[in-house]
Amino acid sequence: MEEEWIADVPASYPVRGGNLVRAWVDGLPAFTRICEVIESARSSVWITVTILRDGFALPGGRGGLFDVLDAAVARGLDVRVLFWRHGPETEQFGPIVFSGSVEQRRFLAARGSAVKIRWDRAGHGFAQHQKSWIVDAGQPTEVAFVGGINCNPQAVVHKGHPEPRSTHDAYLELAGPSATDVRHNFVQRWNAATERHRDDGRWPVDGADDLAFPDAVGPHRGDSVVQIQRTIHPGTIEDAHPAPGADAFPIAAGERSILHQYLAAITGARRTIYLENQYFGEESVIGALTDACDRGVTVIAVVPTEPDGGTIATLRSMRSALASRPTFLLAGLVAGGGDPRPVYVHDKLMIVDDAWVTIGSANIHRASLHGNAEINASVWDPDFARALRTELFAEHLDEDTGALSGPDAMHRFTEIATANTVGPAAARRGLAVVLDPRTY
């Protein structure tokens, strides 16, 4: 990869070395690991939540989200949750968010929950869309998770997706200096939560519990280079208290470092770009990918097999750009072999040249890259990138591509996905199928 795009993009947080990273693919492994970390925690559990659907239960018979969090409080931990409070213009999300309604507050009271909660609105028409967990904040055992997995029963699924209804997703586990930046993001948002001064905007009602910003990063825990990147809508956070070792960033004017990094990574790509994303419609990213194809870069985009409204809008862009490039492949995931069932792709990740990875909450569409609150972790580590590509391809192709180069593995993906599409369903290998942008 070209050296110039490895530099950090304009962001609240710098590129930091010394991190330990691990990817968790699909919800059952990811939530099992998160619960294990919470159960061994010594001081705190802080999380940001967008979606909390009815019926969500954590693995291993642990119960729902508040069962796990209340148990942590009972052990003496400081447990805090930032929930999104939707507005009238986003009323369609009402049934699937924990927005602090009268009924939901009665639920908290009935169970005697001592979890500390603040509710936070987003910019008009946007969402507080971050998904993060910070355990043992400020302690030597500090661990963070960032990714795309919602508290959704369809997300708590096995790898390979044997369940009748299934969502494909991912989290990144992070320990080391960049985990401090995930903590800083939580403190910044907690202290600035829009509803914190309202009696119905915090739980318990007193709400006099602002957090101190970190004054030093955590110790080195590994060898990976990481930058935490965000989308922050202008005006939603005013406090520009910088992270340790970071230059002051004009956060009141907003942040677009996720978009900037996507563009830098795509522009720097020389061989392969592999991405999985729920939505795929940001014009600047599609333009950069089109240019990459014209340079001879192989691009594979894995999206939901059955599009919803946002995905349909996405494809209008691809029909006039990427769809005509011979080095571009649009793919989906289908489980069940002879009884095919579409798998809903919800993760937000990209791997470039088997050397760089981003995993987080940001979709490749306008809301995530310009208006929502989002958080991604970008990782510069060829060993990690190659291992993640191998893990994903093993699930999607039912084949170990670890011994293959990036271009050869991408070629193998195309071969198997094509065979899965044109051949009999009973003969399919793995999950990958080819989608035609012109008829999708």
The pairs formed by 86-89 with CB atoms below 8 angstroms and a separation of 24 or more are 86/121, 86/127, 87/121, 87/122, 87/124, 89/124, 89/125
CA distances (Å), origin 109, targets 100, 102, 291 = 12, 11, 55
**Cα(401)–Cα(416) distance, rounded to whole angstroms?**
12
Report pLDDT for 311.
59
Helix (H) or strand (E) holding 262: helix 257-268
pLDDT score recorded for residue 5: 52
Residue type, 20: L
Q: How many CA atoms lie within 13 A of 48 on its CB side?
A: 29
- Strands (E) across 136-200 are located at 143-147, 167-168, 170-175
Question: Going by C-beta distance under 8 Å and a sequence separation of 6 or more, which residues neighbour residue 382?
Answer: 354, 355
Distance CA 358, CA 379 (A): 6
Residues 6+ apart with CB under 8 A from 438: 319, 323
Contact in structure between 106 and 26 (CB atoms under 8 Å): no
- Side-chain-facing half-sphere of 400: CA atoms under 13 Å: 2
- Spans of the chain below 50 pLDDT: 1-4
Q: Output the pLDDT for position 290.
A: 95
Residues in the chain, total: 440
Q: What is the pLDDT of residues 186-244, one digit of tens each?
A: 999 999 999 999 999 999 977 689 999 999 999 999 999 999 999 999 999 887 789 99
Residue 158's alpha-carbon distances to 25, 228, 239, 296, in angstroms, are 9, 28, 41, 36
Q: How many C-beta atoms surround the C-beta of residue 284 within 10 A?
A: 14
Q: What is the pLDDT of residue 313?
A: 58
Cis omega (within 30 of 0) for bond into 95: no
Amino acid at 318: M
One-letter amino acid for residue 416 of the chain: I
The tally of CA atoms less than 13 A away on the side-chain side of residue 214 is 25
Contact 11, 245 (CB under 8 A): no
Predicted pLDDT of residue 208: 80
Q: In this predicted structure, what is the pLDDT of residue 260?
A: 96
Phi, psi angles (nearest 5°) of residue 218:
-70, 165
> How many CB atoms neighbour CB 256 within 10 A?
22
Q: Going along 139-271, which residue ranges are E strands?
A: 143-147, 167-168, 170-175, 202-203, 224-232, 255-256
**Predicted confidence (pLDDT) per residue in 338-397, tens digit:** 788 999 999 999 999 999 999 999 999 999 999 999 999 999 999 999 999 999 999 999
Dihedral in degrees, nearest 10, Cα atoms 124, 130, 131, 134: -130
Domains of the chain, each with CATH number or no CATH: 14-198 (3.30.870.10), 257-434 (3.30.870.10)
Are residues 268 and 241 in contact, defined by beta-carbon separation less than 8 angstroms? no
> Distance between CA atoms of 369 and 284, rounded to whole angstroms?
10
- What is the distance between the alpha carbons of residues 386 and 410, in angstroms, rounded to a whole number? 12
Question: How far apart (Å, rounded) are the C-alpha atoms in residues 237 and 253?
Answer: 9
Who contacts 52 (Cβ-Cβ below 8 Å, separation ≥6)?
65, 83, 96, 97, 98, 150, 151
pLDDT at 6: 56
